[in-house]
Each structure stands twice: as structure tokens, then as C-alpha cells.
Structure 1
């Protein structure tokens, strides 16, 4: 694994001692801690002030799934494995593993010196419970990701055996800590994981321990003094930071100011208005990163609620697709920080993306013709259809602007769309519990394999009451289910790719959902932060290795 860790000289440490301590996002750890810096390596101590937006509904990302929850949760929980810059699995809670020749079992050898933050030893029983009772049952992607996991054995406290129905190509892409999340069995067993009180006061195995969550203000994590990772030398105990404070700054313009002034030093989730990116990227005190989201691969789409019979008609769905100018949306609303989606699979995932799929060019006249054919004639007021539309405005004003553009374009073809703008918990309740909406626009992470983040949108078995980021539209089609379950079951890479091609062809032909944009997410961080796990999952990685330069 490659880390960004410039060496700090003795002279620089002495200079740090002589410098006055600031009170901003990068606070000095003081003279004693500076002298205790690891030789030629890092400076210990200090508080990193970060930002996430919107405020998450919970802090256990594998249960209360949302991007801001993942950013925080990654430093509280470790997974069985982590990944290097090429997305290859590396040891974390599992020291090593072996796969049987037939691909029907994977044996994980767990670390023996790991404890939960409350002092309870971490064992194979925690893994077994989490896989079978949390990930497979409550995670919106878990049933698909682990479809071939038919059992989990625990021959001893530090050995876990996954029993599989056959080789599972997707398994090694989902074992990281915020996707296949391992939670403490002694705190979750016998409860409903979705409502467990420890979702908002998490107890993990990671580098940082939860201290407090002041709603509307901040989440504070403190250094785990008993963290298992002693570094390559066995002596440079991680983490290096004393504390991380995740501030909640709901206004994007205020977040931009906070970055410029140094009030915050690490900001994920498109923290500033897209119109500010070009200006802020010129600031030498800030680093812009657009690669740290390539593994999550965010995709923006327009969903129909299939509890509304109007959307059973493919002509209506195609009409909506023709009515929306996606290229203009990418250019005007996103300031070029997005590309038009050609499939439900991101085009840069070349090993899975299928070129030459049916596309729906911006064509209002064709949209009107299709709506006429579907029997939705204009009334005396020019309106054919009245619907509501739930937005993800809590993630930023860009989603509201996109919805406003779509509202105007649909109005031009006779569809009157009323926008419903809610905070994140209310959106989750409306879409996934009440399912009381007509249409919605949202983004999901596609992740490096379509089985992880794409199929959940279309699989009928993923219509999970109350589970965020599942199949919100209630779309159910036996032919689609057969393709998706084939992808889950097929162990041969080439044959599986044929099924993934069929999935993309079916989605683009039947238009169960309109694929709008491939989003180029970005984040900013201070140039004084070293040790970030740079690569395709930067903002979804632990801050165990991060430290503050003088």
C-alpha cells in the first residue's frame, strides 16, 4: 500500500517547537509530542477538523448506509480486508486467508490482539453474526454481494470459514469495513440491527473511538490507544492523530469559506458548490482530489415508483428519458464535473461496460409523441400528468438545480412536476419506508463490480422495507431477476460478463430507471495533511495513517 508520507527532519521539528500554536483545523500537538515524532517519519498528535455533509442518520455505515456515514465509519470500524491503490485486498482484521481449489470455501485467519472499543475481544463469532444476521439481511447490497455465501463456520475464536455455493468473483471487492461491516455480536445479538442504539454511538475495532455526537454540530472521534496496528516496525503505533472532529456545516458556501480559512482541513462529498471548484483548486494550501471516488463510482439517476400504474407503460418512461437534456445538465448544473451516463454501469469500468447500447437523445417532440400514444393527452391547461419528485437536496444544491432543470424540461412536454425537498432522514423515510412518492432523482455508488452497487436498483428481492439505498422504485421483473441472479451465481468470469452485458441491454431497452450522469465526485483537504491512503477509495478510507505536518 502506498501512503503519502513526506519525511520530517529534526530541524523541522525544532522549527515546529519554536512556532506558535494555532487554533484552527490543524492544531499543534505541542513541544513534547513533536519531539516524540517517529524518527524520519511522522509527527504524532493534533486534531484534524473535517467535514461531512449532510449529517448522516447513523454512524454504522453498513447499517445506516449513506456516504457521510461511510466517511466517518471508516475510521471507527476495520474490515476483514482493506485495499491498495489497485483495489487489491490487503490484510486488516484478517491476517491471511486461503481459498479452496474448488472456490467453495475461504478460510480467514483473524488477528489475535484485536479488541472492541469497550474492551471485549474480537472473535470469529463477531464475523459469523455480522455476515449472516446483518450484512445478508439488512444491507441494501448485502444479499447480492454475498449471495453465494451459504454458511459461516467458526472452528475456533480466530478462524472463520466462508462456505460458498461456488466461486464468487465479487466477494473480494466487498470485504472492506464499511461494506461488509463487522459489528460487535455482544451488543447487537437479539436486537433489530436497523434500530440498535449503538448505530449512533458505535463501538468498533478501528483506529478511532467514538466520543460524542452533538446533533447539528459535530461528531468527535478520539485516538484508540489499544489499536492493533503497530506499523511496519512494530513500534510506530497507529493512529497518529489524537482526535478527529467531523463538523456539520450545512451551507456549501460556508464550507468553502471554512476550507479557505483553515477552519476545516478535510472535506469529502463535494463539499463546495461546483462553481467554486476552479477557484479553490488554485489555492496552494488546498489539494483537490477527484480520484478518491472512482471505486465508489457515483451514478445519478431518475427513478419511477412502480406502485404508480402510470409508469408501467414503457412509452411514458421513454418519453421522460427523451424530455431530459442530460448533456446540458452535466455542462450547466455540474460545471462539467459529470458525464452523460450511457448505461447503469460507469463507462470507465471498461471490464464491465457495454458500448453501443440504446440511448435516448434529448428530443421533446419524440417525448410528446410517446405521451400522446400512451393516452396522456394535454388538458385545457396544457398539462398531461401531475407528479411529485423527491430530490436529494440535503447532499447539495446541485441536486435541487438538476431537479429544477428537469421540472422545466418536463413542463415543456406537458408534465407538471412538484419538487419535494426534504432532509436526509425524511428522504429515507419517504422513499424506503413509506414509499409514498411518484418519482425521485438520487445517486447510488456503483462500486467496481455491477453486482455490488448496480443490481440493487433492479432486483425484486432488494425491495427492503426501511432499508436505505435499496430498490426504492419497487421495480420487479422476472426476466431482470433471472439475469441478476445469474450474475450472482456464475463463477466463470467470461460467462458472467455476458450476463452483465444482458443486464445493461435490458436496462437501456426497458428503461426501468433513467441513467442520467456519471458523477465526478471531489473532495478537498489541506496540503498539511500527510499519510492519506490515496487511491480510488481515499474518502472512504480510515484516517489511521494520517498526520499533520508543521
Structure 2
């Protein structure tokens, strides 16, 4: 790019009133010469919020991680890596963890990040976060002897603690902004003040969220782009075209219909990188939840009948185009250390399903219908709607008429949590790297359903609670593993939720990019390390 005389005069007008020293002119020319880098990221659907500490959901996490730093992040072996916490020490047999915070780190409004912010945020997570709360259950005290020291004191050691100290699970919020308000309804949530590598610029509903480079970020090597826009393209065809043509550079969450993903993978001439790296620690599992407040579902024979009526192999191949495998229990096989296939299994057997429904007193009427229910599929993409439609057809064959009710993301979670306005729901949840972090929340009676997740079925079992709570405090790895195995057997026996599929999510990456996070949590990671090769 060259700068001609007209450009220089235009710059001079913009700098009118200033003394045009050679140094100032040089800086102005350098700024004009510099190419502004703008990363375009696909996120679908539009999140109902963009602060991970407050809003649950993959789409929220992807945006939030760029605005907020957590205490730590992870490397490719899931070892903790410093962010706001510069160092830490574990003492008293794992019951006490002392963090030293990074000095010089500031909020986007210029105020320093202190131990008071961390204490406030962890106390909030313990009180209300569906994923983090179980692990913080035995947190007795948080000491802040100075502005840069935080001491967590637990009644028992927790082998899963590090997996919730990540910013997606324990988001660190500015206490001076949130204290004295309801964090869920604070108006700052739509224009957040964070601590991360990007500053919030704008949120145009139905279109995009744009962030710009934080010039005061503590890591002066990041971010490597000047601006990032998270785009919400509702039409699947338009979204796919935008990704294929390079208009969109990165899709960390599922953005292209899986049929098209499969076709792109098989095309040798496609330059796009399509893989499942970055989703390993998420370990998503697709399931069918019952609302156990409904009398008909309090009979376990009905729940088991539904399980026998659903062909999971057909779901995997026809709804998810092979990017899924049948699940055998509440813990996916991704969690190799904890997974057990020993729980009761419910193979596809429509005849057995009909017998169980008959035994439960559900007789067919003149039209062959024995039960009418609704199902709310999670509204993240068309694959889940297609899966719900297949389940609808399968249940119809055994005399169950299903009405599929589709909603936007916010309404969907409100129906499940606040309104309790559903019979069944088909959804997925991240199991994460440890059952204590991602699985227990769905089956523990103390993990109430909220708009951020939790025990949506309202399942209550004294034995399951005992196993979960014993796991939370068990410091011996072998004993803890046995408790988790027993948990799986108990839940499969009670079947408050049918485990259907282990999902394989994909990321789509432009060949122009470098520095895309390769860790097991990479799909959630900040884009601060991404840069354009050209």
C-alpha cells in the first residue's frame, strides 16, 4: 500500500491543531500502513448471554472466553496453565490451595483485578453454578490476606477441582460491578466489562457480537488479531456458504449440517480443516430426559419401555451422519478412567417396549394411541430436531404420540427450568473430563434445574445422592473410581434419563489461520492466539 499526497493532506486535516512533528507524522503513516486484521467466527445459535459465569451453553462460552480470563487454562495434557493465577500451592493433603494472582492485570474499566473479585466469583459459583457447585460443596472458607493472594480451604480434598477452576466453570467477575445486584439480571451483562484479551464493542441482536483488541492486556503478545466478530447466521445454507467461501474463518462449535461436513471431509479438493480436536474434554452425550414430576413417568416400566423403543444405531447414522456412537450409560467412553459398561442395557426391542407399557396400564385406544406427550429438542442445530423426529416415529410404533415443540434457546431453558412446562426433552450435555464436573449435576437431587442446567428430570434417589456425595470427598483414586462405577449402575437401573449417543462435534478452520488452540478444551478457548498466515 502506498500513501499519496491526497492521503497525507487528509491525515493532516484529521490532525489539525496538532504540531506535525516528524515523529507524529511517522506514527500516523505507520498506523495507516498497518493492515487491520479482523477474524470472523461462526456461532450458532445466538447465545442468550455472553458471560460464562452467568450463562450456560457452548455458544456463550465461546464468546465469553475472549472477554474474561479465568484463574487457569489447560495444556494438551490437561495440566493447569496460569492465567489470572500466576502460581499456586497445595497443602494439608489437598484441602488448602493458595493462589498468587497476577499483578498488573486489570479490568477493562482500568480497575485492578484483586483477590476480592476471585472470592466473590467463587462464592457465586458455589451458590448457583450447576457444574461448579458440587465440587465447591465442601469449600469451607476463602481467605484473602492481601490483594493478590486467595486461599481456598476445603473440608475434604477434591480430585476434580482443577476442572472447575477453568474460566468456563468458574468465571471471574468484577466485584465492583456486580456486588449488590442480581448477577443474572445486571444490565452490564449485555455490554460486559471483562479482563480478557478483547474488549466488548457491540452486540447487534440477530446478527453479531464484535470485540476489539485490549491494548492493556497483561500478555503483550496477545491477541494476534485486532478485531473478532462472532456471527449468528440462522440459515444453515447461508452459513455453510459463508464458511466454504472463506467469509467465515473459524467455526469452533457445530455450524455446518453434518451431511455437508461428511461430504466436505470426503472431498479431496476442500482446503478446510475439519476435525474433532478441541472437543475431547467436552465429551458431549445426547440423552432423552423425563419430567419425573409427571405421574406417568414415575413408573420405571414406562421409562424402560421408551428406552427399548428407541433405535440408537439409527439415530447415530440418520440424525448425526455417523458423527455419534450409541451410549451405554450416563458416563461416555471418552472418560476412559471412569467409564463402565456394567449398567443395565436396553437394546432396541419394540415388542418388549409394548409389553412394559401394557404392564404399566397404558392400553391402546381405538386409534392405537396409549399415551400422548410432548418433547422439547435442544435448539442448537437441525441435527437435534431431526433426531427428535426420528424418536417421534419410533415411539409412535409402540403407541406413544409425541408432539415436538421447538423454541429459541432462552425460551427452551425457561420451559425446562423455571416453568417446568415439558413432558420430555431431548438434549445433550457436556460430560467434561470428570463425572463430578459434567455428569453428577444431572442426577444429584441437590442440583436443582436452572436455566443454566442441572437436574432437569427432578430425579431424587437417596442411594444415588449417597454415591455422588461420597465421590465428592473421596481422596483415594481407586475408591473414587469404584464409587463412580456404582453410580453408573444405580442410574442405569433407575433410568431417569435415557443415554442415547456419544456425540462427535467438529470444528471447521480456514487454511488461512494459524494458532488455533489444539487442547482438549480448544473449542472453548480464546481466539487470542489465532493469526492469519497471509
For Structure 1 versus Structure 2, the TM-score category normalised by the shorter chain is: over 0.9
Structure 2 match to 1:238:
222
Aligned to 2:250: 266
Contact 2:278 2:517 in 1 (8 A): no
Mapped partners of 1:445, 1:62: distance in 2: 16
SS at match of 2:351: helix
2:373 aligns to what SS in structure 1? strand
Tell me, what secondary structure is at the counterpart of 1:433?
A: coil
Which residue number in structure 1 is paired with residue 37 of structure 2? 46
User: Partners of 2:370 and 2:153 in 1: how far apart?
Assistant: 54
Match of 1:544 in 2: 528
Mapped partners of 1:439, 1:278: distance in 2: 30
Q: Give 1:172 deviation, angstroms.
A: 1.1
- Partner secondary structure for residue 193 of structure 1: coil
Of 282, 285, 291 in structure 2, the residue corresponding to residue 299 of structure 1 is 285
1:6 corresponds to: none
- 1:33, 1:45 within 8 Å by CA — same for their partners in 2? no
2:307 matches 1:316: no
Query: Are positions 1:430 and 2:415 aligned together?
Result: yes
Partner SS state of residue 346, structure 2: coil
How far apart in 2 are the matches of 1:140 and 1:167?
A: 20
Tell me the residue number matched to 1:439. 424
How much has 1:62 moved relative to structure 2? 2.1
User: What does residue 7 of structure 2 align with?
Assistant: none
Shift of 1:45: 4.5
The residue that corresponds to 2:155 in the other structure is 165
Residues 396-411 of structure 1 aligned to structure 2 (within 5 Å):
396-411=381-396
1:358 to 344, 347, 370: 344
The answer to whether the 8 Å contact 1:59/1:201 transfers is no
In the alignment, the residues of structure 2 paired with residue 280 and residue 46 of structure 1 have an alpha-carbon distance, to the nearest angstrom, of 27
Q: Is the 8 A contact 2:292 2:496 kept in 1?
A: no
Preserved contact between residue 280 and residue 334 of structure 2 (Cα < 8 Å): no
For residues 91-138 of structure 1, the C-alpha deviation after alignment (integer angstroms, 9 at most, x for no partner) is 110110000042110000000110001111100000000001x21112
Looking at structure 2, the residues matched to 406 and 34 of structure 1 have their Cα atoms a distance apart, in angstroms, of 58
TM-score (normalizing by structure 2): 0.92
Q: Secondary structure at the match of 2:411?
A: helix
| Partner in structure 2 of residue 83 of structure 1 | 74
Which stretch shifts more, 263-272 or 411-420?
A: 263-272
Q: How does 1:341-490 map to 2 (within 5 A)?
A: 341-392=327-378, 394-464=379-449, 466-490=450-474
State the distance in 2 between where 1:68 and 1:518 align: 20
Match of residue 506 from structure 1:
490
Q: CA deviation at 1:34?
A: 11
Which one of the candidate residues 39, 64, 67 is aligned to 2:55?
64
> Aligned equivalents of 1:443 and 1:472: distance in 2?
12
Identify which of 194, 202, 218 aligns with 2:184. 194
Work out the CA distance in 2 between the residues paired with 1:373 and 1:518.
31
Q: In the comparison of the two structures, how many residue pairs are matched?
A: 506
Structure 2: tracts of 5 or more residues without a match: 2-27
Q: SS state of the match for residue 122, structure 2?
A: helix
Aligned partner of 2:241 among 257, 260, 271: 257
For residues 97-108 of structure 1, what are the structure 2 equivalents within 5 Å?
A: 97-108=88-99
2:107 corresponding residue in structure 1: 116
Instruction: Give the greater-gyration-radius structure (CA).
Output: 2
- CA separation in 2, counterparts of 1:116 and 1:209? 10
Secondary structure in 2 matching 1:467 = coil
- 1:477-518 Cα shifts (integer Å, max 9, x gaps): 111111111111212111111110011111111111000000
Cα deviation for residue 474 of structure 1 reads 1.3
Q: Is the Cα contact below 8 Å between 2:259 and 2:321 reproduced in 1?
A: yes
For 1:292, what is the secondary structure of its paired residue? coil
Q: TM-score, normalised by structure 1?
A: 0.90
Name 2:9's counterpart in structure 1.
Answer: none
Residue 24 of structure 1 corresponds to none
Aligned-pair RMSD on alpha carbons?
Answer: 1.6
Whole-angstrom distance in 1 between the partners of 2:275 and 2:136: 31
Unaligned 5+ residue runs, structure 1? 1-13, 15-29, 37-43, 231-236
In 2: Cα distance, 1:339 partner to 1:34 partner: 53
Q: CA deviation at 1:33?
A: 7.2
